[in-house]
Amino acid sequence: MGPGVQVETRLAAAIRCGVVSQAKAEGDKTVCHFKDGGKILVSKFLAAHIGPGDEISFPLGTHSAGTEIYIRKDLPPTRSLDVYQAPISYAAQPKSDKREHLYVRATVSQGRLGISTLHFPCEVLRDYFYVANRHLPWEKQKTFYDILRISRSASPAELRLAFKLRELELRAEGAAKAAFSGSERAFNILAHPELRACYEGLLSNPTAPVLFPYGGFGSVITLGERSSDGQMFFVRRIVSFLPDSRERRFRAPLRQFEFYSDRALYRDSRRKLEVLVDQSAMPIVWDQTWNQWKQFLGTKVEIRGTFVEVGKYRRIGGEWHQVKWETALPSRLTVKLPASIADQVETARNTYHRFGQFSEALAGIRERIAREPMERETLRRICWETGIPGDFDIAQITWQPDYDKFFYDQLCRRARRLYLFREEYIFELEAAVVVETPQLGHATYLFLKPRSMEQFLAAYIRTTKEDIRHNRGNVAELLGFLGRVIHGASPRTWLTELKAKVGERVDSVAAAADVSENFGVK
């Protein structure tokens, strides 16, 4: 027996096939018994499409939600559409086949039944994702705007308000679950700019290209038939789609939002998260000028919501790579603002104004700290002498919008003195020296406490961080380099490691409280 035959035998042994003799309900599941004595437990939703005589195929050892299952219906002449349940990982952009029919293809995630791709005609996607009532044909559908009782020119904030009012009306009417689902679907499509544009195209032309919402990551149950080579499943109807999702709660710095006229976008490249909010979800009045001075906003907002997995292919280094993110569903999103938000916004605006007002003096200060480290109190005195108000925080002249104030606050809390040098902060702690760059992606550098801070600074300004990391000319030994602490995605880890390296007793409860106060991440 050749190696190829051995592989095929092992694969065949890993697949279970059985012909259904009967199906019995057991709690919220259904047990399908096979004629040969075996059985499989499936959801009642899937069981509604299974009958005696159907042949079920599924991989052995997989029993989680979304498990790949193929149901081959009775043989001709009475044979109806087959049923295929599978986890999918990516749905491509719409394309046109040789007959000018539009379709979308989705990749089966780790498929073991031989099917690698699902082929969705665009009208199948349209009639599942872009309608409020899935039991009516497209031409008899109410528009999503009619469902929410709002005009097609509605802003994102007006859409959210209309959705909330519609939910209240449906509760008062004692409406069926399908009505709530249709209303939520309408809002989630219209609240997403790209999906709304797709829907508008369908209203003008029902045969227009259709996007698979959010990229298609999740578990799908479909009706259709298999290709002749068995590698593709041609979908004729979508029975169910359950996106990959999870609940999240965290605090997001306002300075990391990109503000537009009618919405704001938060993106966290470390956690691969994005949140699109309107002025009804985050009830403060902003405009695009906020992007000019947002780096001075120290406040954070609390975000809670259901996040679904999304992804796109991007060309990196000459090759295409799939990049996965998570995005918040508009209908399941809440944003909580701090009570002091108005004061903090006003303070940030004033700081931005002062930077413009005293731009020449600050330019001179930047030139000085580019050449030599200067202690913060010295800089405050220089500011006072040049007419800059005493309450001006000189540390903000090198602050970058993506830097998180948590790290700065923790180091300031422990510092005896703070020096500004180039784009860095140099903190003199009781038992160490810490160098911090106030920008996303930079690590915290730690050094032994020197006998003379002046000698340390004189040596430090003549080297680079790359020299320190590689100990070129023994500079790391000369400076007493202890190592780096990566900011990473976990502030608790950063704080714990920082305390350990500077010889501070690690109190896990206090560290957790510090992190919770600043991040509130779950």
pLDDT of residue 62: 57
Identify whether 106 is part of a domain.
no
What number is the average pLDDT over the span 21-42?
Answer: 89
Query: What span, in angstroms and rounded, lies between the C-alpha atoms of 397 and 438?
Result: 10
pLDDT of residue 507: 52
Q: How many domains does the chain have?
A: 3
What number is the average pLDDT over the span 62-73?
Answer: 75
Give the structural domain span for 144. Answer: 131-209
194 and 305 both lie in a single domain: no
pLDDT classification of 519: cutoffs 50, 70, 90: very low
> And the tokens for 367?
């030139």
User: Which of 155, 188, 209 corresponds to the end of one domain?
Assistant: 209
Q: Is the pLDDT of residue 341 over 50?
A: yes
403 and 506 both lie in a single domain: yes
pLDDT classification of 79: cutoffs 50, 70, 90: low
> And the tokens for 459?
């040596």
307 and 376 both lie in a single domain: no
279 and 416 both lie in a single domain: no
Say whether pTM exceeds 0.85. no
8 A C-beta contact, residue 297 and residue 351: no
Identify whether 448 is part of a domain.
yes
158 and 261 both lie in a single domain: no
Query: What span, in angstroms and rounded, lies between the C-alpha atoms of 325 and 445?
Result: 30
Identify whether 99 is part of a domain.
no
Q: Is the pLDDT of residue 509 over 50?
A: no
334 and 370 both lie in a single domain: no
145 and 267 both lie in a single domain: no
pLDDT of residue 354: 86
8 A C-beta contact, residue 40 and residue 56: yes
pLDDT classification of 512: cutoffs 50, 70, 90: very low
Identify whether 426 is part of a domain.
yes
Identify whether 186 is part of a domain.
yes
Identify whether 70 is part of a domain.
no
Of the candidates 215, 226, 219, which has an alpha carbon nearest to the alpha carbon of residue 88?
A: 219
Return the CATH number at 172.
1.10.287.110
Q: For all residues of the chain together, what is the average pLDDT? A: 88
What number is the average pLDDT over the span 390-404?
Answer: 78
Proportion of the chain above pLDDT 90, given as a percent: 61
Q: Which residue has the tokens 């259901």?
A: 306
Identify whether 58 is part of a domain.
no
265 and 175 both lie in a single domain: no
pLDDT of residue 116: 95
pLDDT of residue 76: 59
329 and 380 both lie in a single domain: no
Identify whether 60 is part of a domain.
no
| Least confident range of 51-65, 307-321, 441-455, 503-517 | 503-517
484 and 404 both lie in a single domain: yes
372 and 323 both lie in a single domain: no
What number is the average pLDDT over the span 357-364?
Answer: 88
DSSP state string for 195-227: HHHHHHHHHH-TTS----GGGG-EEEEEEEEE-
Of the candidates 123, 10, 112, which has an alpha carbon nearest to the alpha carbon of residue 62?
A: 112
427 and 505 both lie in a single domain: yes
How many of the other CB atoms lie within 10 Å of CB of 453? 17
8 A C-beta contact, residue 66 and residue 242: yes
What number is the average pLDDT over the span 161-190?
Answer: 96
Q: Is the pLDDT of residue 3 over 70?
A: no
